[in-house]
Amino acid sequence: MTNEPKCNTCDDNQCNGKNQHPGEKEEEFLERQALKSRMCGIKHKVIVLSGKGGVGKSTVAANLAASLCMAGKTVGLLDIDIHGPSIPKLLHIEHVPVRGTENSIYPVEVGNGLKVMSIGLLLGERDDEAIIWRGPMKHSVIKQFLRDVEWGDLDYLVVDSPPGTGDEPMTVIQLIGDADGAIIVTTPQELAVQDVRRSIMFCRQLDLPILGVVENMSGFRCPQCQAHTHIFGSGGGQSMAEKAGVPFLGAIPIDPEVVTSGDTGMPFVQAQPHAETSRAFARIVRPLLERDLPAERTQPTTQQGQPLKVAIPVAQGVLCVHFGHSEQFVLFDVDPGTRAILNCQALTPPPHEPGVLPRWLHQQGANVIITGGMGARAQSLFAENGIDVIVGATPGAPEQIVRAYLDGMLQTGANVCDH
């Protein structure tokens, strides 16, 4: 016998959380309905996977979640690595007590509103104790994290899975049911790339979309001499993604400060928002942010042979040190293939208020802005509007700056704005 609908989360009468399935026990139905109701309050679910350990997956997951927060989104971070939870240590919350009621668990909030839950938060002072659980116990605790944690309404839930293709990722994928997809983390060397191929096959067997591949630890630039060294090789993740027919989201360089920020409990993108590594994370999260944009705003405009529009903020005829103080924006239509300037126009912007200029420039078709300085919040808003940000340019004639950019000769220094 089928029960009357009890779930009032949405108006979808076809939702499988509305009615009891044939043969389903009442207790099972109520559990499934509670989980479905909780998940309905989360707009996007992203699962971070890796084929093997040691590729920096948890660091990537934490910084992706923090980058989404910096873009103004409400975000949850769920660590389902039962045997080696890293997120509490990375965020410096390993000894923060978890509150709850008889039927609910409250996530720990950190930084600018990021909501976090991990088995590591429930260990208390026993954080060095080995967890020896078989599959059913893992399944039960993951279900509890999804069903009983008071996530509230979220734009994104980022799930940090343990390495490999075992019980935990399979359980969370099946319980969520409608996840947006997986981000797969690798390092450049062939040994890691082989394991990532297995992760891709795992996702395909479970009908989980693949949002893309991230190549972590992709080269090291010496802060003293600026020499670039590919410690683990280069390009393995991108090459593998191309062969597998999945998106390549970007490469994240090795930066010793990432380790320092992890040890101190602050995501690197928040500790050093202007660093190249932070900009790499901003580029990686852009496709996630674009999932909320209308279709016409997500079409690629920077591929070779397709038009590119570069915006230069100017004051008194030269590039303005801060984009918000500009008198005009000079917009250049260029062909990135031939590196030719096709058209140029100067426009007077609307009054500068938070979020206005990114939307206005997007409406003008811009997909790159070159400026002297820009704060982290503004950079996130530009990224949300599909516009690449290049900071640290020195004042000069707009056309000269664009030609240097097209020729790969644009010299940039420090970001002159940190607000």
Instruction: Report the relative pairing of strands 308-315 and 228-229 from DSSP bridges.
Output: unpaired
- In order, the DSSP letters of 20-80 are PPTT--HHHHHHHHHHHHHHHTEEEEEEEEESSSSS-HHHHHHHHHHHHHHTT--EEEEE-
**Where residue 154 falls among pLDDT bands split at 50, 70, 90?**
very high
Q: What are phi and psi of 215, to 5 degrees?
A: -95, 105
pLDDT of residue 296: 36
Contact 216, 189 (CB under 8 A): no
Tracing tokens 């640290």 back to the chain, one arrives at 392
- Rounded to an integer, the average pLDDT of 180-204 is 85
pLDDT in tens, 253-295: 888 778 777 777 788 888 887 777 888 888 888 888 877 654 3
Dist. CA 374–CA 387, nearest whole Å: 13
298-406: which CATH architecture?
A: 2-Layer Sandwich (3.30)
Give CATH for domain 41-292. 3.40.50.300
Dist. CA 55–CA 33, nearest whole Å: 36
- In order, the DSSP letters of 285-301 are HHHHHHTTS-GGGSS--
Of 352, 355, 334, which is closest to residue 344 (Cα–Cα)? 334
* Partners of 78 in the β-ladder: 117, 159
Q: For residue 349, is pLDDT > 70?
A: yes
Dist. CA 202–CA 208, nearest whole Å: 8
Beta-carbon-side half-sphere exposure of residue 126 (alpha carbons within 13 Å): 6
pLDDT in tens, 119-141: 888 775 555 555 555 557 777 78
pLDDT in tens, 352-382: 777 899 999 999 999 999 988 888 788 888 8
pLDDT in tens, 210-254: 999 998 888 676 666 666 676 666 677 788 888 888 888 888 888
Is the model more confident about 100 or about 300?
A: 100
Dist. CA 92–CA 110, nearest whole Å: 9
Per-residue burial over 145-162, b if 16 or more Cβ lie within 10 Å, else e, is bbbbbbbeebbbbbbbbb
The tokens for 14 are 């076809």
Neighbour tally for 365: CB within 10 Å? 13
State how far Cα 368 lies from the chain centre.
Answer: 20
For 264, the 3-state DSSP assignment is helix
Q: For residue 109, is pLDDT > 50?
A: yes
Domains 41-292 and 298-406 in one fold: no
**Where residue 300 falls among pLDDT bands split at 50, 70, 90?**
very low
Domain ranges of the chain: 41-292, 298-406
Contact 395, 321 (CB under 8 A): yes
Say if pTM beats, i.e. exceeds, 0.75: no
Dist. CA 305–CA 348, nearest whole Å: 29
Is the model more confident about 131 or about 160?
A: 160
pLDDT in tens, 24-82: 677 667 777 788 888 888 999 999 998 777 788 999 999 999 989 888 889 999 998 87
Dist. CA 180–CA 45, nearest whole Å: 5
